[in-house]
Amino acid sequence: EEPATNAPALWGSPTVDNGACCKTLGEVRGNIDRLDREIVRLMAERGRYVHEAARFKANPAQVEAPERAEAVVKKAMALADADGLSPKVAEAAYRAMVRAFIDYEQGIFAAAASRGDAPWRNS
Ligand SMILES: C=C(O[C@@H]1C=C(C(=O)O)C=C[C@H]1O)C(=O)O
């Protein structure tokens, strides 16, 4: 069954905010929900720049830009390490996120090409 959200912790001592948080799993999740609002807002802003990037690409292979994609992941891992986030968590999250943004950008590019906007033609 799911853990109770209003019961005290079962072990250890609080680790966040110099021990001020957290007293319940509900309090933990309220903070995670607050941060997710910010993360999604930032992802939406990131997505608008990914969309914009498509305008500078001549074909789908350029949309993929694997060297840049790898550099973005490696940078996130280094930033994570400096910020106290597990680099393995950052790597997995960034690989999935960048892959999804590439697919999104491929869709934007393909739609522009089929409108006759982007110069590239499929066949
Ligand atoms: C946004 C770009 O296009 C793609 C998406 C990337 C990303 O989400 O960071 C990075 C490189 C490309 O795979 C870009 O070329 O900068």
Domain ranges (residues) in the chain: 1-56, 59-123
For residue 64 and ligand 1, the question of a CB distance below 6 A is answered with yes
CA–CA–CA angle 36, 40, 41 (5° rounding) = 115
Asked if the ipTM is above 0.90, the reply is: yes
What phi, psi does 121 have (nearest 5°)?
-120, 135
Model confidence pLDDT, tens digit, residues 69-92: 999 999 999 999 999 999 999 999
**Ligand 1: distance of its center to the CA of 119 in Å?**
19
**Separation between Cα atoms, residue 72 and residue 13, nearest integer Å:** 36
Ligand 1 pocket: which of 42, 43, 67, 68 to mutate (most atoms <8 Å of CB)?
A: 68
If you average pLDDT over residues 96-115, what whole number do you get? 97
Look at residue 123 and tell me whether its pLDDT is greater than 80.
no
If you average pLDDT over residues 28-48, what whole number do you get? 98
